[in-house]
Structure 1
């Protein structure tokens, strides 16, 4: 509705300008001329919806007005604006074709009449106007296409980010639940501890899932929880220790840029998830080191090691590191697997 209102106001402004300049140049148009001016300018209100039809209508209006109405006036401005709308809609070739047809009609009309209505200078200026409005319309169309592509790309990046968050949240917590459920089945005497760990892991999974899906809420609606970061590393380690894995941590969390804090946490989380699912390890060490311009996150386990094949988890960790301008490597050996990420944090504070 707002777009229609703007177009209607534009049409009204063009009509007022054409009528005002027509009366100033005199003589005033008769009733038929007045009707032609109103109809030709009025259809500009539909120029966004039907640009080609409106342009054809303005050509017809000008073709009726100039040969048969005694008064002169800038009604051609309505055709120029309509032609711009065709080009702005991305139909550049059609706009050029319409301009060529219009100029050909003007030239043939001048040849067919004994009196010269448009001199050479006016003809040259008319051609310049048509070329200019088509060029401006093409620029406007290109700009809108770039904006639409940028919005589409941003939406795609956002979907990938949400998918990555969901993968990290669910993969980690579901893996812990699976390990604890297996423990409850095979070690009857540890059922209460295993069930408590399952309860906590499922609670944490739901909490982080709500936080992640909070980005899909309305802009003015507050997300239920803060995004995770290294300040929650102790909770992550305790959940992992509940599976029976010995986890040690070297280094303390520090205030970091939010995107780096989240990336570091998710990388550690995914590395621990991979250890519990694939490594057959007994112990894992998490090391956090800080430099002047970057930080390093390193996760080492004592599992079976060997060749490491990049699955969704490793690809996700790599994408997270790259998204903040860092890098990540995963190396397997006879003594386990090492995940190492270097993330930029700026100057030392």
Structure 2
């Protein structure tokens, strides 16, 4: 059997609370009326009508929040009929008082004021029509009744305002919590992408060089050279692989340093930057690529995040040259200006088809440049492929300090 109301999370539903309140008011009115009946005699017919009015007035409270104005009118009419007819003078007015308060508390302020005014006017007119000496309520009691009705409406309005304020505070708290969660998710996503980009640049470059170096020596050994020539070629390739893998491990340790625990020692290897550009060029040359560097302007110290971004852009560009272009030469041009650094990496390879979508490496380079207010463009040329990047000398204020995710 379904219950008329449900209890949620240990608290009664509004409908259940209304039923409980109606039962309590009914109990008070019934007990008070039974006590009063011992000291008042009246016809049985009036007694029956009085009990019916009590049942109607108190029973209507079960719906006081679902239909507040209607319940207030019903309880008021019950009182207007009950008190002139019944000699028992029970406290049925409690039901109307509660209904009037609920009307104001549920936001029906105008209706509550109107009902209070009608009540006061009806009582006043009823007392005026009484003959002298037969009044039930004197002027003082009438003034107290007016104050009582005003207080009920005012308290109900205050409760309405309080609940509205609490709901607004709750909504703001929920909105702030959702915003904080969204920011946390966004920060986590950005951090994952940043780490993925770092790993891609570090491992992609080094593994590509190792692949090219290994492929080159295997090709030479496939021609069955003399033993001493084969041994020299193998030794040269292994030395290059060793140096490349060593650099890769150094950078990988620095990148994964962001995942270290607080009590672990931080990596002490030098941070990647343009200061290591010479080593980067030498590693690329071990693959047989003729890499040239051009410098214009006066070099100035870059903000560490910008320095790392410039290094990664050159690194990824050389990786793409060795892996995809089939180029024999590549040029790295650094143009130092007053407030920015212009980078140009150009090769004499096959270029890239216009319809081919950009790879993750190029997207990563563009994201690095945009992160500091710069930009990056790539396009095929008549003799190969070209990467142009522009980076500010100083990182913007929002990224000028090393973030938690920077491998430093």
Alpha-carbon separation, structure 2, partners of 1:334 and 1:262:
30
| CA gap 1:230/1:52 in 2 versus in 1, 3 angstroms | farther
Match of 2:12 in 1: 56
Q: How does 1:78-93 map to 2 (within 5 A)?
A: none
Residue aligned with 2:351, SS: coil
Question: Is there any run of 5+ residues in structure 2 with no aligned partner, and where?
Answer: 1-6, 29-62, 79-91, 102-151, 221-229, 396-408
Deviation at 1:186, TM superposition (A): 2.2
Deviations 1:217-275 (A, max 9, x none): 23564531454111111111111111121112223753111221111110000010111
For the residue of structure 1 that corresponds to 2:193, the secondary structure is helix
What does 1:191-230 align with in structure 2 at a 5 Å threshold?
191-219=234-262, 221-224=264-267, 225-230=269-274
Give the match for residue 126 of structure 1: 159
- The equivalent position to 1:114 in structure 2, one of 75, 83, 93, is 93
Is the aligned partner of 1:328 residue 2:376?
yes
The separation in 2 between residues aligned to 1:57 and 1:220, in whole angstroms, is: 52
- CA offset at residue 106 of structure 1? 9.0
* Matched ranges for 1:61-210 at <5 A: 111=75, 113-115=92-94, 116=97, 119-187=152-220, 188=230, 189-210=232-253
Corresponding position of 1:80: none
Could you tell me the TM-score, scaled by structure 2's length?
0.58
Indicate the larger mover: 328-337 or 166-175.
Answer: 328-337
Given the superposition, is the C-alpha separation of residues 135 and 170 from structure 1 closer, same or farther in structure 2, using an over 3 Å criterion?
same
Q: 1:312 aligns with which of 354, 357, 360?
A: 360
Distance 1:222 1:270, change over 3 A: same
* CA pair 209-102 structure 1, distance change in 2 beyond 3 A: farther
Instruction: Report the 3-state secondary structure (helix = DSSP H, G, I; strand = E; otherwise coil) of the residue aligned with 2:300.
Output: coil
Aligned pair count? 267
Q: Deviations over 1:111-150 (max 9, x none)?
A: 5942336511001111111111011101110010001001
* Structure 1 residue 346: Cα displacement: 4.1
Q: Which structure has the greater CA radius of gyration? A: 2
Q: Does 1:277 align with 2:323?
A: yes
Offset, 1:343: 1.1
Q: Distance in 2 between matches of 1:102 and 1:205?
A: 75
Give the 3 Å change call, closer, same or farther, for CA 346–203 of structure 1 in structure 2.
closer
Provide the C-alpha distance between the structure 2 equivalents of 1:122 and 1:104, rounded to a whole number of angstroms.
Answer: 19
The structure-2 alpha-carbon separation of the partners of 1:146 and 1:255, relative to structure 1 and needing over 3 Å to count, comes to same
1:266 maps onto 2:222 in alignment: no
Contact 1:306 1:334 in 2 (8 A): no
Distance 1:131 1:103 in 2: 16
Question: Residues 155, 213 of structure 1: CA spacing in aligned structure 2 closer, same or farther, 3 A cutoff?
Answer: same
Write the deviation string for residues 163-219 of structure 1: whole angstroms up to 9, x where unpaired.
Answer: 111111111000110111112212224111111000111111122112111112235
2:385 match: secondary structure? strand
Name the CA shift for 1:219/1:289 in 2 (closer, same or farther; >3 Å): farther
Structure 1 position 233 matched with structure 2 position 277: yes
* Alpha-carbon displacement from aligned partner over 1:68-120 (angstroms, at most 9, x marks no partner): 9x9xxxxxxxxxxxxxxxxxxxxxxxxxxxxxx99569996995942336511
Residue number in structure 2 paired with 1:296: 342
- Partners of 2:8 and 2:275 in 1: CA distance: 60
SS in 2 for 1:274: helix
Using the size of structure 1 for normalisation, the TM-score is 0.67
Query: Secondary structure at the residue paired with 1:288?
Result: strand
